């Protein structure tokens, strides 16, 4: 006869009553996009799907900072900032409080100790006095015998007297869970269905470390229960510990929340997405000029789809359409080019011009091109930023592209450029010089570049008068005014640059070409 199954309550997806989910990052560094995607799905489930069904969907933010060795100062603030920038709002959390606080695990250590004691008293956990040296020896022996590594349960059967003696001797200990040695444990993952684990393959997990701090497992289970979490939606990497958590819930006599492990995010060529493939932290994408709504749209589609076709979803659309049921358990591949495509789409087709202008300003200000107040519509630079943004938005893939592309519109003087760029194909230096002098004269005669139609007519006429093809005249003008051979349409570029600056830049180009011509002639 097989051993009795562990009678643990199964996950209950058809939860009645309020839905409560949590995002529970550990402050060990910057928030990874994978974490951002998990947070997003939790938020969409609580604030979207659950609320649409008339259930109170609460999204809880809990900081899991009990691993003192991996703790990084300021990481918690970084997580708040990244999530806030991303556009997620949490209903309860360390910074907001709430009925189930505190929401930072290091402030809840007494609770975890009490729960560990409770399991010891029930005979479902035990103190383990094994030294790190002994544990290493056991591991080595296991390696030598080609056995899987794991604790050999040496302290599981210590007598009460032995335990007392060790405690009196002041030996340090951890508390381990006494995992059932036989039988099986089932988990029900909402995306994957039922998974059955053989208990004999499970370890006696450490619940409390020798410093009195809980491990992730104990703290996570205790908090999910005490915070009344109904659905645990977390990264795929935790699925292997889910049976142990399910056993822990059973040991406490608690119902297991519904479980859903989000699909893995793979790197472009396969494998885990890591720094060597490109940016992985939410804050890096922010610094690189990605829009939070474009990143949100992109990350939502890493694992979820609405109809397998629609690609563009605003945050509001996502809240309206997201269902957990349509999240696939299969790994999703992170595609940087696709993310750029989404970002360019949002810049070009979704943001209003005022919004775009306001969002490029921090990037322009960091490059010293405007002051940071220029995002205010009342600021003197604002109209110029807005006009330049209108001209260039279809070339911007990220906001960080703005300084380079918009520089010529915002600086009084152009950056130095190569004078030979002024000279078009099949034209000599002197002819180019004559052409620019003629353009200067036209401007002096009162051509106002604010009128694009009149400017175009006048300059086309001038090309004819000079016996040049239009392009042969337009290229030197373009280079003189922007410092580069490519720009948006010439006449709109001239309009946004303004007559005064155009005139100054044509004059500067003439001077540059004269010097250059002198050198060329001398060299000849």
Round to whole Å and give the CA distance between 387 and 368.
18
- Give 306-369 as a DSSP string: SSSS-----HHHHHHH--GGGB-SS-EE--HHHHHHHHHHIIIIIS-HHHHHHHHHHHHHHTTS
- Is 119 or 219 the residue whose CB approaches ligand GLU more closely? 219
Instruction: Give the nearest residue (CB) to ligand GLU.
Output: 234
- By beta-carbon proximity to ligand GLU, the closer residue of 262 and 384 is 262
Q: In angstroms, what is the minimal distance from the CB of 20 to ligand GLU? A: 14
> How far is it, in rounded angstroms, from Cα 59 to Cα 137?
45
Shortest Å distance, C-beta 31 to ligand GLU: 10
25 binds ligand GLU (CB under 6 A): yes
Q: Give the DSSP H or E segment for 391.
A: helix 382-392
Beta strand ranges found along 121-250 (DSSP E): 125-128, 174-177, 184-189, 193-198, 206-208, 231-235
* Least distance CB 126 / ligand GLU (angstroms): 24
* C-alpha 443, offset from chain centre: 50
Site for ligand GLU in 40-59 (CB under 6 A): none
φ and ψ at 302, to 5 degrees?
-85, 75
**Nearest CA-CA partner of 244 in 265, 215, 264, 210:** 215
C-beta of 216: minimal distance to ligand GLU in Å?
A: 6
Of the residues 6, 32, 64, 258, which one makes contact with ligand GLU according to CB under 6 A:
64
What's the DSSP call for residue 212? S
Euclidean distance between CA atoms 485 and 479, whole angstroms:
5
- Using CB under 6 A as the binding criterion, the count of chain residues that bind ligand GLU stands at 9
Nearest to ligand GLU of 234, 505 (CB atom): 234
Q: Which stretch binds ligand GLU (CB under 6 A): 195-203, 233-241, 263-271, 350-358?
A: 233-241
Residue 62 Cβ vs ligand GLU, minimum distance, rounded to whole Å: 8
SS3 448: coil
500 closest CA partner among 413, 400, 434: 413
* Contact between 71 and ligand GLU per CB under 6 A: no
Between 38 and 297, name the residue whose CB sits nearer to ligand GLU. 38
Say whether residue 24 binds ligand GLU (CB under 6 A): yes
Catalytic residue among 55, 171, 272, 275: 275
| Complex with ligand GLU: residue 64 or 387, whichever CB lies closer | 64
Cα–Cα distance, 220 to 21 (Å, whole number): 13
* Cβ-contact 59, 96 below 8 angstroms: no
Residues in CB range of 470: below 8 A, 6 or more apart:
459, 460, 463
Point out which span in 23-31, 160-168, 196-204, 296-304 binds ligand GLU (CB under 6 A).
23-31
| 393 has catalytic annotation | no
Which stretch in 20-28, 81-89, 125-133, 397-405 sits in contact with ligand GLU by CB under 6 A? 20-28
Q: Minimum CB separation from ligand GLU for residue 108, in Å?
A: 14
> For residue 393, which of 430, 425, 354 has the smallest C-alpha distance?
354
Indicate whether 265 belongs to the interface with ligand GLU (CB under 6 A): no
* Nearer CB in complex with ligand GLU: 229/301: 229
* Nearer Cβ to ligand GLU (217/338): 217
Tokens 């491990």 belong to which residue? 215
Smallest distance from ligand GLU to CB 483, Å: 48
What's the token pair of residue 378? 């009342």
Three-state secondary structure call for residue 189: strand
Residue in the structure block whose two tokens are 């008068």: 465
Which CB, 64 or 189, lies closer to ligand GLU?
A: 64
Distances from the Cα of 25 to the Cα of 174, 234, 235, angstroms: 24, 10, 11
Choosing from 238, 254, 306, 417, the residue that interacts with ligand GLU (CB under 6 A) is 238
The reply on whether position 234 binds ligand GLU by CB under 6 A is yes
Least separation in angstroms between CB 28 and ligand GLU: 8
What whole-number distance in Å separates Cα of residue 175 and Cα of residue 205? Answer: 8
Contact string 186-225 vs ligand GLU (x = CB under 6 A): ------------------------------x---x-----
Among the residue ranges 19-27, 157-165, 252-260, 340-348, the one whose residues contact ligand GLU (CB under 6 A): 19-27
The token pair at 33 is 């996009």
Chain residues in the site for ligand GLU (CB under 6 A): 24-26, 64, 216, 220, 234-235, 238
Active site residues: 275
């Amino acid at each position: 006869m097989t051993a009795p199954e562990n009678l643990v309550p199964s996950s209950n997806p058809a939860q009645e009553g309020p839905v409560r989910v949590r995002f529970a990052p550990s402050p060990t560094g910057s928030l990874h996009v994978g974490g951002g995607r998990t947070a997003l799905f939790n938020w969409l489930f609580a604030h979207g799907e659950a609320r649409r069904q008339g259930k109170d969907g609460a999204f809880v933010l809990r900081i899991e900072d009990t691993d003192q060795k991996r703790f990084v100062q300021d990481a918690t603030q970084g997580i708040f900032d990244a999530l806030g920038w991303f556009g997620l709002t949490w209903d309860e959390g360390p910074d907001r409080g709430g009925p189930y606080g505190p929401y930072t695990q290091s402030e809840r250590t007494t609770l975890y100790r009490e729960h560990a004691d409770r399991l010891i008293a029930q005979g479902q956990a035990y103190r383990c006095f094994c030294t790190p040296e002994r544990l290493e020896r056991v591991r080595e022996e296991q390696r030598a015998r080609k056995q899987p590594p794991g604790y050999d349960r040496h302290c599981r059967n210590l007598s009460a007297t032995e335990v007392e003696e060790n405690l009196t001797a002041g030996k340090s200990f951890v508390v381990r869970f006494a995992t059932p040695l036989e039988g099986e444990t089932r988990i029900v993952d909402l995306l994957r269905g039922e998974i059955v684990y053989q208990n004999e393959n499970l370890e006696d997990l450490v619940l409390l470390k020798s410093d009195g701090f809980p491990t992730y497992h104990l703290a996570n289970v205790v908090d999910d229960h005490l915070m009344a979490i109904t659905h645990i939606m977390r990264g795929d990497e935790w699925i292997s510990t889910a049976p142990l958590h399910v056993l822990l819930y059973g040991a406490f006599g608690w119902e297991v929340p519904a479980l859903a492990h989000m699909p893995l995010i793979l790197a472009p060529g396969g494998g885990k997405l890591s720094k060597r493939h490109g940016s992985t932290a939410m804050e890096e994408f922010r610094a690189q000029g990605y829009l939070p709504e474009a990143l949100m749209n992109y990350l939502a589609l890493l694992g979820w789809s609405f109809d397998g076709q629609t690609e563009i979803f605003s945050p509001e659309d996502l809240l309206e359409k997201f269902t957990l049921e349509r999240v696939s358990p299969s790994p999703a591949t992170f595609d940087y080019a696709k993310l750029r495509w989404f970002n360019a789409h949002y810049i070009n087709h979704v943001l209003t011009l005022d919004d775009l202008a306001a969002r490029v300003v921090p990037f322009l200000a960091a490059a010293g091109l405007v002051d940071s107040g220029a995002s205010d519509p009342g600021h003197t630079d604002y109209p110029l930023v807005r006009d330049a943004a209108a001209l260039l938005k279809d070339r911007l893939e990220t906001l960080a592209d703005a300084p380079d592309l918009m520089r010529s519109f915002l600086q009084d003087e152009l950056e130095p450029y190569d004078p030979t760029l002024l000279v078009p194909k099949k034209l000599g230096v002197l002819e180019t010089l004559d052409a620019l002098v003629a353009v200067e004269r036209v401007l002096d005669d009162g051509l106002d570049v604010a009128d694009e139609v009149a400017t175009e007519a006048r300059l086309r006429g001038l090309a004819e008068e000079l016996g040049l093809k239009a392009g042969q005249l337009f290229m030197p003008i373009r280079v003189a005014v922007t410092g580069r051979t490519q720009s948006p349409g010439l006449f709109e570029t001239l309009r946004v640059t303004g007559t005064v600056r155009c005139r100054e830049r044509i004059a500067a180009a003439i001077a540059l070409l004269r010097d250059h011509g002198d050198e060329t002639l001398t060299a000849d």
